Amino acid sequence: MMVFSAFRRNLLLAMMIGIPAIALAETAAPPNAVVYFINLKDGDTVASPFKVQFGLSGMGVAPAGVEKANTGHHHLLIDATLSAEELKQPIASDAKHVHFGGGQTEATVTLPPGQHTLQLVLGDWTHLPFNPPILSPVITVTVK
């Protein structure tokens, strides 16, 4: 983290003195970080509202706005995925891109009947996906 803080300071300095910045300062993903659904799997049928538990290994959860090494916070994508371009930007915040900036590790989700896709994306303290992105598989659930 010291390294990344220094990197961001240097990036800011570079911007202030007019050197073009190549990219936003994405946080490097810890090598073994994995995000996953604990209690749901692809093909499950659920009754709304339903609980979704967010699993994370290889790093820790911290609230948004807290810069702490090897931590991030969960985002739940509902019937949405992120394009390569979106994976380099702060994650949108709307009904399909839900932030858990308090450091929550589960949520109760209400969805209309039918098939829906769910995916977890870990964001850094500034809501940017890591590089490379830390994504769960996309799962499809059927809401009764």
Name which of 80 and 143 has its Cβ closer to Cu ion.
80
Instruction: Choose the binding region for Cu ion from 11-19, 39-47, 49-57, 120-128 (rule: CB under 5 A).
Output: 120-128
**Site membership for Cu ion, residue 123 (CB under 5 A):** yes
Considering only residues 35 through 64, tell me which ones interact with Cu ion, judged by CB under 5 A: none
| CA–centroid distance for 96 within its chain | 13
CB of 25 to Cu ion, least distance (A): 16
Q: Are 1 and 67 in contact (CB under 8 A)?
A: yes
CB of 53 to Cu ion, least distance (A): 18
**Site membership for Cu ion, residue 97 (CB under 5 A):** no
Instruction: Choose the binding region for Cu ion from 18-26, 55-63, 76-84, 98-106 (rule: CB under 5 A).
Output: 98-106
CB of 98 to Cu ion, least distance (A): 9
Instruction: Choose the binding region for Cu ion from 3-11, 27-35, 92-100, 133-141 (rule: CB under 5 A).
Output: 92-100
Q: Which of 56, 97, 99, 118 binds Cu ion (CB under 5 A)?
A: 99
Q: What whole-number distance in Å separates Cα of residue 108 and Cα of residue 33?
A: 24
| CA–centroid distance for 33 within its chain | 12
What residues line the site for Cu ion (CB under 5 A)?
99, 123, 127
